[in-house]
Structure 1
Amino acid sequence: MQKPKQFDRNLIVIGAGAAGLVSAYIAAAVKAKVTLIEAGEMGGDCLNTGCVPSKALIKCARVAQLARESGQFGVRLPEPEIDFPAVMAHVRQSIETIEPHDSVERYTGLGVEVLKGYARLQDPWTVRVSLDDGSEQTLTGRAIVLATGASPIVPPLPGLDQVGYVTSETLWERFAELERAPERLLVLGGGAIGCELAQAFARLGSEVTLVEKAPRLLPAEDEEVSVAVAEALAMDGVTVLTGTEAERFEPVQQGGGQAFVSSAGDERSLAFDQLLLALGRRPRVEGFGLEELGLVEDGRLKTDGYLRSVQPHILAAGDLVGPYQFTHMASHQAWYAAVNGLFGDLKKFRVDYSVVPRAVFVDPEVASVGLTESQAQEQGIAYEVTRYDLEGLDRAIVEGSRRGFVRVLTAKGKDRILGAAIVGENAAELIAEFVMAMKHGLGLNKLLGTIHIYPTMMEANRSAAGDWKRAHAPEAALKLLAHFHRWRRG
């Protein structure tokens, strides 16, 4: 496999999800000749089957719940009538409205050549594209960025193929045909996707059971956060079964099926009309010629801290490489992949994973950044926890949004922020202040000294900083001040 003396493109990008789109955009912005190849829909999973449709559905469910809770504000409404086809139409309309942002036309206008077709690496520098019109095109690239994403995990459980399951990718098309939300929905998986969709469908009228193998929901978060989410789901009628594992499935004549699950050695059956698998996502590495080039090991693409594969000019970004499967992380990595691909032989940049925010869009929302308490313990880091409850926040009181808290980990005896977690209204927005503070080395004292508008939910962050300050008041100095003021009074 001899390196070509000339190349057709400076950069070839395979996959037009968040990572691929941003990589191609950056390359075009610095006047490189770049080709973006996509076999499916532009925008990838986030636009078509992930972030956008799920948040549109969550909004519909939130409106229904607000109608149910309107009585606390003196506005009494009847139980909302759920027009499920209209809900799914809102989901589709949301996608269609955002589609132009990720379209072929927009990226062509930005200077990116976009090819619709299936790409496969013929050798480390050559990509063969089977175009949608039936023709083929072969391109050589000085650098290649792989942004092929990930796909839902489907476990090899007995009977699963016989009960018509859906995943976070396939449910939108399947459920668009329904006249009403599934009467009995079984969700396997208590991560972000499982929790979000379980609560949303419960609010839209489904009888929802969520099964999670781990001892608690959202096992990557602190236990207090997991407990808060479990309580929120239970309040909306979701039956949460943690420490429970699905063993096998059987179809029933009326449609749907039975799931046989076990917990602590005891087996029980759960009837369902629809089964949703939310068990995580695995990198999409097959069919692109990666195995033949030795780029894949144990089902994963091997990359270094610069996102380079074992062939340094072949880089990767997004869900394909992880370690975080977030759209904002895909966009973050895309800058490094594009810049290292185009300029890495002159100067390369190691990906910065130091401050990575995450969110779960349940109600109340959950958002986190930095270390959890368990991670600090595992790493032997001395820390303190400051917790501020939203029930005492003026804006939360008037909004009827008193459920939740702000929880901050700081270095022992110092105001340096190690991590933060927020459970509450608009937590995914509120966490941004802690993200900014951690990124730029600002401690709680700086946050406390920043003016926050009254009354806002953002004041919760400042209140947490204030609680930390009170807990670290200099007692000796305060005693001297008390003597000083007594002396001044005469």
Structure 2
Amino acid sequence: MNRIKTDICIIGGGSGGLSVAAGAVQMGASVVLLEGHKMGGDCLNYGCVPSKALIASAKHAHEGLNNAKYGVAVAEPAVDYAAAKDHVHDVIATIAPVDSVERFEGLGVQVIQEFGRFISKTEVQAGDTIIEARRFVVATGSGPLVPPIDGLDGVKHYTNENIFDLRERPDHLIVVGGGPIGMEMAQAHVRLGSKVTVIEGGKAFGKDDPEAAAIVLDRLREEGVEIVEEAQAERISGQGDQITVHTPKGDYTGSHLLMAVGRKVNIDKLDLDAGGIAYTKHGLKVGPDLRSTTNKKVYAAGDVAGGLQFTHVAGYHAGVLIRSLLFALPSKQRTDHIPWATYTDPELAQVGLTEAQAKSRHGAGLEVVRFEYAHNDRAIAERKTTGLIKVMVVKGRPVGATIAGHLAGELIGMWAMAIANKMKMSAIANTVLPYPTISEVNKRAAGAYFSPRLFESGMVKKVVGLVQRWIP
């Protein structure tokens, strides 16, 4: 058995683990990284990267059908589903070297391609190596949750971990789960020529602002996605090449089944009990500093920290941990400034509080300002006028923003910056943006906050009147 002593041992080579490893080793710490599966984690191999690549293929397939409104002949797409998957895997392969073993070894990280498990409070074993470290970072991420639905084990079903390996286009894709993953894949597949039915036990996009979600759901239905809500999947059966999902609202039969009902954290192989590490089904029990509540040598990053499950959150956690691990400085995470987006068309994005959350927390002190895409000149030129932005404002500062529309995932960044830096609405209103751009949606929303104060105020009109009378 080999033994290694190091400053930092990181378990998991996904976004959070790789970010900590790269930062720590380049700042002078000795680092051991353990990854028993694929470098880059879920995001690169099964999540963000392949899904956005497939969505890009679907977008190009769909665009020709809408040519007429631009004065161009309509073009029916000739979709090669297998070639679209080749595009997906080419994108993964292009990005993979950035996350590779070779790159990190080149930086000075000792990479061990084995799963790690705790054997004591101060030691982790990976294969035939025992690593003793000053600090451990658990960054093992999450995987698809496959619920114990009666009959599911007896039929072929897909998750985000294997749907991108499917080479033959589904004739009729049944998606169980109406969250971001399910809805992105539903729209992508209907645009690529599949019939698609989404079955959701509650409300589709149930965690998002209902008004904004309705804009996206209306578009998906227009494109042919059948969305069945309040229909819990009770049983699944299969016969030949047909799969049926049985619900209280009826039975739905298709050729392929995608399970997209949520995520579960990857902690089963860690033997956390041996490490004296408290945990729940949501991940490690950590404080605001991401440090284990029961083993002070252990920290968590990303999904296993028990909070928001996004790649960019894992990267953010890495920054919080670098400050603590390398410089022994107090560093705590916050979540009020974390944005997220769903990459349907139109996109759906959020940062901070939704309107309902803000009303509950701030009551009469809340102002909600709105601006419709239909009044943005670039959106009109691009024929992308479906959408709106809502900004929740308290005492002149944004506490949340919701955007449903073209490039919402890009636009939300301005509000994430504003909330992160405690900026006022005046900072957005004072920003000069190039014309015509979709980003003016943000500025116009800020203008909607100030308009009543300027144009409907009797005091302002009185002051202007006095000034005009006294100007020589």
TM-score by length of 1: 0.92
> Structure 1 unaligned runs (5+)?
1-5, 131-135
Map of 1:159 onto structure 2: 151
| 1:446 is the counterpart of 2:427 | yes
Task: Give the partner amino acid of 2:11.
Answer: I
Report matched runs for 1:479-490 at 5 Å. 479-481=461-463, 483-484=465-466, 487=469
Task: Give the partner amino acid of 1:165.
Answer: H
Map of 2:89 onto structure 1: 92
Q: 1:354 aligns with which of 336, 339, 353?
A: 336
Answer yes or no: is the 8 Å Cα contact 2:396–2:425 preserved in 1: yes
Report matched runs for 1:267-278 at 5 Å. 267-278=249-260
CA distance in 2, matches of 1:339, 1:468: 37
Answer yes or no: is the 8 Å Cα contact 1:387–1:406 preserved in 2: yes
Q: 2:324 is paired with a residue of what secondary structure?
A: helix
Q: 1:251 aligns with which of 227, 235, 238?
A: 238
CA distance in 1, matches of 2:448, 2:329: 45
Map of 2:437 onto structure 1: 456
Answer yes or no: is the 8 Å Cα contact 2:152–2:235 preserved in 1: yes
Q: Displacement of 1:377 after TM fit?
A: 2.7
Answer yes or no: is the 8 Å Cα contact 2:143–2:264 preserved in 1: yes
RMSD of aligned residue pairs (Cα, Å): 1.7
Answer yes or no: is the 8 Å Cα contact 2:336–2:351 preserved in 1: no
Q: 2:114 is paired with a residue of what secondary structure?
A: strand
- Report which stretch shifted further, 16-25 or 118-127: 118-127
CA distance in 1, matches of 2:379, 2:359: 32
Task: Give the partner amino acid of 2:423.
Answer: L
Q: Displacement of 1:322 after TM fit?
A: 3.2
| 1:387 is the counterpart of 2:397 | no
Answer yes or no: is the 8 Å Cα contact 1:296–1:302 preserved in 2: yes
Report matched runs for 1:295-374 at 5 Å. 295-299=277-281, 300-309=283-292, 310-343=294-327, 346-374=328-356
CA distance in 2, matches of 1:284, 1:166: 19
Q: Displacement of 1:7 after TM fit?
A: 7.1
Answer yes or no: is the 8 Å Cα contact 1:35–1:114 preserved in 2: yes
Q: 1:232 aligns with which of 206, 219, 223?
A: 219
| 1:190 is the counterpart of 2:174 | no
Answer yes or no: is the 8 Å Cα contact 2:321–2:331 preserved in 1: no
Q: 1:484 to 1:342 in 2, by over 3 A?
A: closer
Answer yes or no: is the 8 Å Cα contact 1:376–1:383 preserved in 2: yes
Aligned length: 466
Map of 1:417 onto structure 2: 398
Q: Displacement of 1:479 after TM fit?
A: 3.0
Deviations 1:58-105 (A, max 9, x none): 000011111111111111133101101100000000000000110111
Answer yes or no: is the 8 Å Cα contact 1:143–1:342 preserved in 2: no
Map of 1:31 onto structure 2: 28
Map of 1:401 onto structure 2: 384
Answer yes or no: is the 8 Å Cα contact 1:315–1:341 preserved in 2: no
Q: Displacement of 1:459 after TM fit?
A: 0.7
Q: 1:280 to 1:483 in 2, by over 3 A?
A: same
Q: 1:184 to 1:296 in 2, by over 3 A?
A: farther
Map of 1:429 onto structure 2: 410
Answer yes or no: is the 8 Å Cα contact 2:336–2:353 preserved in 1: no
| 1:279 is the counterpart of 2:276 | no
Identity of aligned residues (%): 36
Map of 1:205 onto structure 2: 193
Q: 1:50 aligns with which of 47, 52, 63?
A: 47
Q: 1:347 is paired with a residue of what secondary structure?
A: coil
Answer yes or no: is the 8 Å Cα contact 1:389–1:404 preserved in 2: yes
Report matched runs for 1:461-480 at 5 Å. 461-473=442-454, 475-480=457-462
- Report which stretch shifted further, 466-475 or 394-403: 466-475
CA distance in 2, matches of 1:152, 1:195: 15
Q: Displacement of 1:415 after TM fit?
A: 2.2
Answer yes or no: is the 8 Å Cα contact 2:119–2:274 preserved in 1: no
Q: Which runs of 4+ in 1 moved over 4 A?
A: none
Q: 1:465 to 1:99 in 2, by over 3 A?
A: same
Map of 1:3 onto structure 2: none
Q: 1:395 is paired with a residue of what secondary structure?
A: helix
Answer yes or no: is the 8 Å Cα contact 1:285–1:296 preserved in 2: no
Q: Displacement of 1:115 after TM fit?
A: 1.2
> Structure 2 unaligned runs (5+)?
none
Q: 1:200 to 1:476 in 2, by over 3 A?
A: same
Task: Give the partner amino acid of 1:154.
Answer: V
